Amino acid sequence: MSVKHSFLALLREAPRSAAQARKAFELKLGGLYSLNMGQVTQTLARLERDGLVTISGKTISSNGRHADLYEITPAGLRELDSWWSETVTTAATDRDELVIKFALAAQHDGRDGIDFIEILDAQRYAALRALRSLNRQADETASNRNSHRLAIEKRIFELEAQLRWLDRIESLPAPQAPPNFFSQED
């Protein structure tokens, strides 16, 4: 989640204090995600350091203290426009716990009490349970592009993809035994 770009989008609407930015973030996302004030103030400080926002004035906060008002700069607008036009990708180098778990389970299948199909079935049933729960939540959530609906729909499609992946890897042949790099023969 890009908190940096989220704040740039919020500051494009209007200058805000750190507390106002946090509140707007949580309201715009329907409470789906929350931020602590330390994260908010650190992010705004980095945005200011990088010239993407500037302090444009002061306001009185709800606790009566003076608070800086942050405003997006022309460089911040360019950065935000760039973010809107870029696609979101997941790095291929990200570690995926499922891939790691099943790669190791495939290597140890039939040894040390490891049963690849049993592990696969447990994951499949967990994904199906989660999918049923999400479908119930979807039935109870407004059918518009609100943050909760978007998150539910994304998770449903991720689980459906995971189930297809599990079916696919189940049909693959078992791997050849890897070389033993720690053999006593060397």
Averaged over successive runs of 10 residues, the pLDDT of the chain (186 residues) comes to: 90 96 91 90 97 95 91 97 86 80 88 91 97 95 90 96 96 76 55
Which one is the CATH code of 3-85: 2.40.110.10, 1.20.1250.20, 1.10.10.10, 3.30.230.10? 1.10.10.10
d(CA 182, CA 79): 50
d(CA 63, CA 123): 49
Say if CB 71 and CB 52 are below 8 A apart: no
What is residue 127's predicted lDDT score, i.e. its pLDDT? 96
Tokens found for residue 178: 């890897």
Domains of the chain by residue range? 3-85, 97-171
Tokens found for residue 124: 């499949």
Per the listing, tokens 């946090």 go with 22
Where in 28-161 does DSSP place strands (E)?
Answer: 53-60, 66-72
Say if CB 86 and CB 66 are below 8 A apart: no
